[in-house]
Amino acid sequence: MTGNPDRVRCLFGTDGVRDVANRGDMTPEMALRLGRSYVLYLTERGVPRPRIAIGRDTRRSGQMLEAALAAGITSAGAEVFLLGIIPTPGVSFSVKKMGMHGGAVISASHNPAEYNGIKFLDCSGFKLSDETEATIEEYMGDNITDDWRPTGASIGILRHAEGMAEEYGQWLASLWGDEFPFIPEGVADCAHGAASTVAPAVFNSLGGRWHFVGNTPDGLNINEGVGVMKMSYLSSVVQEKGLPVGIAYDGDADRALLTDGRGRLIDGDIMLWILGRWLAATGCIGSGVVATVMSNMALEEHLGKENIPVHRCPVGDRYVMETMNTSGAKLGGEQSGHVIIFPLVNTGDGICTGLHFLKACTALGEDIDTLADRFAPYPQILRNVEISREKKLNRDAIEEISMEVQPLLGGLGRVLIRPSGTEPLMRILVEAKDREIMENVSNILVNVIRERCR
């Protein structure tokens, strides 16, 4: 792919570039060009010889893409520090710890093993903004990217820094402190991914008798029947062993979901509820809690009782972080398990989240087995309405329709309408405390949108 800006437009998704490895947008050629474009972006902004850390998860294609990405970066005159297999938040940690100018993660997160992806971090370990990614896309199709050819001593150097995964794990363990005893027993599901070595090292160093599953990666089994994408597996192990809690991660360990001793799900909303109360009690909550548009209204209801504001943002942990920065909140996250406790971390960190949730429960005297019942999320219904590609509703029309039905919810519910980014569909989410009202509003919306999009 050379010199074709139309080809790379919208290359970056909500979490970097992602596709089936060795196909489409995730070939070695694409990785090489992405690396060159990122370096050119940094160089033209006053960083003459950038230093960039690269980490990856356990996928077989990771080494192939790592070699190509590193070649692209060094060919543009930057230094590369290979971290090896390490969670995405471990790359963020390493960028800050090592004083890098940027970082890159090779991972497709929760996707199956045949997928892979590349996402970039800035010098502070934050994910890049939409604007920055758009600029890098422009470089992908610019002739200067092909013409930028350092030679001799100006060519970049490749170094290895694989000890950073261990250092990251030691830092995580140090966050528990001496104030509370560690939870004596539980199960950690590493999804056969990047947490497979780090998580056992962290939990074992803290004591207790934790059991580990999904921690034997072979390059092809990442997320397969384990991790956050298959919570029923962790649930069955927890119940079979009669343990009080289980924690599951995804492939790059930037997410965590939990189960109680009865095998019931503890999602990101429940974690934000507990963590928010704990941080508020310690004076570390800032302006409140950031949650995405997908978080249940029960979260606002529960935190409202504690006078803790909730700020809403689009889906994606980088948007959570951006909203935390603008609002002054110190805690944010997604229902799916991306949780950020700032300033400890700058991106979702599954291991950090799980540890702090357990710590918060201990500090607040919470019985984990009662949380799912007490949180009691509002019922939700998600409907998809097929439309032609030319008939998607614009933002003003969506706002008008939403306002028309809002009074029917009586202030105890909400509506979220959005066009699918990949299919000719309008997606409708209705949430209400009363299930009958929820279903009625959902039916009304389906009929209205079908009529408007005929």
- Percent of the chain at pLDDT exceeding 70: 97
Mean pLDDT (whole number) for 151-170: 96
**139 and 202 inside one domain:** no
Is 251's pLDDT higher than 90?
yes
Confidence band for 3, pLDDT divided at 50, 70 and 90? very low
Strand 380-386 with 51-56, pairing:
unpaired
Distance between CA atoms of residues 47 and 121, nearest Å? 15
Residues 353 and 248 in one domain: no
| Mean pLDDT within 216-228 | 98
Task: Tell me the C-alpha distance between 250 and 257, whole Å.
Answer: 9
Residues 69 and 109 reside in one and the same domain: yes
Q: How confident is the model at residue 388 (pLDDT cuts 50, 70, 90)?
A: confident
Is the same domain home to 279 and 251?
Answer: no
Is 109 among the residues known to form the active site?
A: yes
Cα–Cα distance between 172 and 166 in angstroms, integer?
10
Q: Which residue is associated with the tokens 């471990």?
A: 90
What was the pLDDT predicted at 265? 97
Q: What mean pLDDT value characterizes the chain? A: 93
pLDDT band at 425 (very low <50, low <70, confident <90, very high): confident
Contact 85, 107 (CB under 8 A): no
* Whether 13 and 162 share a structural domain: yes
List pLDDT tens digits, range 9-42.
478 887 899 999 999 999 999 999 999 999 999 9
Across 317-321, 368-372, 420-424, least confident range: 420-424
The stretch 85-98 carries a mean pLDDT of 98
Q: Is 24 helix (H, G, I), strand (E, B) or coil?
A: coil
* Contact present, 93 and 34 (Cβ < 8 Å): no
Q: Which of 61, 109, 196, 295 is the catalytic position? A: 109
Q: Which residue has the higher pLDDT, 164 or 146?
A: 164
User: Among 64-73, 111-120, 379-388, which stretch is predicted with the lowest mean pLDDT?
Assistant: 379-388
Residues 294, 157 share a domain: no
Residues in the chain: 454
Which of 317, 344, 377 is the C-terminal boundary of a domain?
377
Q: Which residues of 169-208 are buried (b: 16+ CB within 10 A; e: fewer)?
A: beebbebbeeeeebbeebbbbbbbbbbbbbbbbbbeebee
Query: What total of structural domains would you count in the chain?
Result: 4
- 54-72 per-position pLDDT tens digit: 999 999 999 999 999 999 9
Cross-strand bridge partners of residue 51: 79
Final residue belonging to a domain, choices 331, 361, 377: 377
**pLDDT value at residue 321:** 95
Q: Are residues 156 and 16 in the same domain?
A: yes
- Predicted confidence band at 141 (pLDDT cuts at 50, 70, 90)? confident
CATH of the domain at 283: 3.40.120.10
Q: What are phi and psi of 407, to 5 degrees?
A: -60, -25
Q: Give the CATH number for residue 404.
A: 3.30.310.50
Closest Cα to residue 192, out of 224, 165, 230, 232?
A: 224
Asked if the model's pLDDT at residue 226 lies above 70, the reply is yes
Same domain? For 200 and 243 the reply is: yes
State the Cα–Cα distance between residues 353 and 338, nearest whole angstrom.
8
Q: Are residues 239 and 342 in the same domain?
A: no
- Last residue of some domain: 113, 136, 166? 166
310 and 347 co-located in one domain:
yes
Measured at the alpha carbon of residue 116, what is the angle toward residues 115 and 119, in degrees to the nearest 5? 145
Q: What string of DSSP letters covers 167-179?
A: HHHHHHHHTT-SS
pLDDT at 412 over 80: yes
Residues 369, 265: Cα–Cα separation, whole Å: 10
Indicate whether 80 pLDDT > 90: yes
DSSP 183-228: P-EEEEE-TTTTHHHHHHHHHHHH-SEEEEES----SS-TTSS-GG
* Mean pLDDT, rounded, for 263-278: 98
pLDDT at 310: 97
292 touches 320 (CB < 8 A): yes
Q: 124 and 346 in contact (C-beta within 8 Å)? A: yes
Task: Look at residue 264 in the predicted model and tell me its pLDDT.
Answer: 98
Residues 272 and 295 grouped into a single domain: yes
User: Where in the sequence is the domain holding 137, given as residue range(s)?
Assistant: 5-166
H, E, C per residue of 59-113:
CCHHHHHHHHHHHHHHHCCCEEEEEEECCHHHHHHHHHHHCCCEEEEECCCCCCC
pTM of this prediction? 0.90
Question: Which is it for strands 51-56 and 79-85: parallel, antiparallel or unpaired?
Answer: parallel
- Report the b/e string of 236-265 with b at 16+ CB within 10 A: ebbbeeebbbbbbbbbbbbbbbbbbbebbe
- Mean pLDDT in residue range 303-329: 95
Residue 316 clears pLDDT 90, i.e. is over it: no
Tokens of residue 394, six digits: 């614009």
Query: 21 with 121, same domain?
Result: yes
pLDDT reported for residue 5: 33
Q: How far apart are CA 90 and CA 85, in angstroms?
A: 10
